[in-house]
Amino acid sequence: MSHVTTVLGDVSAAELGIVLPHEHLIANATAQWVPPEDPGLLEEFTKPYDLQARGDVQLAPFSYREPMFQTDLHVALHELRTLKEFGSHTVVELSIPGIGRDPVALKTMSQMTGVNIVMGCGEYVEFAHSPFIKHVPPEVIRDVLVEEIEVGVGTTGIRAGIIGEIGTSNTPTAAELKVLHGAALAQMQTGVALNIHRSIFPDPLGTLPAIDYVLDLGVDPRKVVVSHVDERPEPEFALLAAERGVFVELDTFGMEQWAISARRGGDYPRRSHDQDRYHMVQVLLDRGFVDQVLLSHDLCMKPQFIAHGGWGLRHLSRNVVPRLAALGVSDAEIASMRVDNPRRALERAR
């Protein structure tokens, strides 16, 4: 019998139901906020976030500091309760040290809503690394991750059920490769899934070497999930990753507000709209990769949450799935992407 580790303990993998495999209920991404070079813009880019500011933020979300964190438990609880109304019962929460992980809050929310929450562990990209990372070898990183998976985080007793999202820059740094090495060792020891963050700029194929790195270390590709394959509209990266046997995660559904640029000045390529994501799903299915596709929202910034005017965690069930069905994606294919595939990625043998 296989199981999945949640913040409330182990549950049968068969009980997961519809899974959202990449979300952030409680998150703080301000480590990647860069103050403007022009001091005259500081007040603009640090102003409180409200619906009147939504239009400005939509044009360049990473320029504004306030929307980059969501720590309100009530906002997150509203998402989970709404999600249950649409038939989903499991969320994979990939906030990790450096981007706002809060194990106690996740446990509280799971207890209050009945939603399974699978918590991540590990380190994000180098700017958000814990200070100890620079001083230790991969084996120490492995030991930290294994303890969080098998025993719990600190003194909480709350266990992680997935490694990641492990951060990699477009060209991974030495520190990021060290973390990735430790994460790969922990994956092979525990059997949990390993989620790798994709960086899309400047090289759209830049994360492929990170995938190859963990596979060369011996990680089973069937336990590797590659995030954000849909952030750019071109399907080439997703196809090349899928050919390696890993799970490819189209996890930014609903991020229409990022479709222009990430920062003022347009230093990023055009990001995907949902229309691009529908096309990418169809391309992957047409190429025979239905058993490797995962779907999610990567909810992480205030404008994405229902309480702040966003589509929230219900977007896939409410809007995306009906559209995919209208485009000819079968019920069986949708079930594979939303139920069967995430279950196989997350499950561990007893």
Please give the annotated binding residues for a divalent metal cation, written as ranges: 22, 24, 165, 197, 228, 298
Residue 117 and residue 93 in contact, taking contact as beta carbons nearer than 8 Å: yes
The upper half-sphere exposure of residue 2, i.e. CA atoms within 13 Å in the direction of its Cβ, equals 15
Binding residues: 22, 24, 165, 197, 228, 298
Checking phi first, is residue 225 left (phi over 0); if not, alpha (psi -120 to 50) or beta?
A: beta
Closest CA to 246 of 207, 274, 303: 207
Phi, psi of 222 (to 5 degrees): -75, -5
Q: 3-state class of 188 per DSSP?
A: helix
Phi, psi of 171 (to 5 degrees): -110, 105
- Tokens found for residue 45: 């880019």
Question: Whose structure tokens read 């477009």?
Answer: 170
| Secondary structure letter of residue 159 according to DSSP | P
| Helix ranges, 18-155 (H) | 42-45, 54-59, 73-85, 103-113, 138-150
Residue 259 and residue 217 in contact, taking contact as beta carbons nearer than 8 Å: no
Strand order in the sheet with 247-250: 18-23, 88-93, 116-121, 162-166, 193-196, 224-226, 247-250, 293-295
| Helix ranges, the chain (H) | 42-45, 54-59, 73-85, 103-113, 138-150, 174-190, 208-216, 236-243, 274-286, 315, 321-326, 331-335, 341-346
Rg, C-alpha atoms of the chain: 19
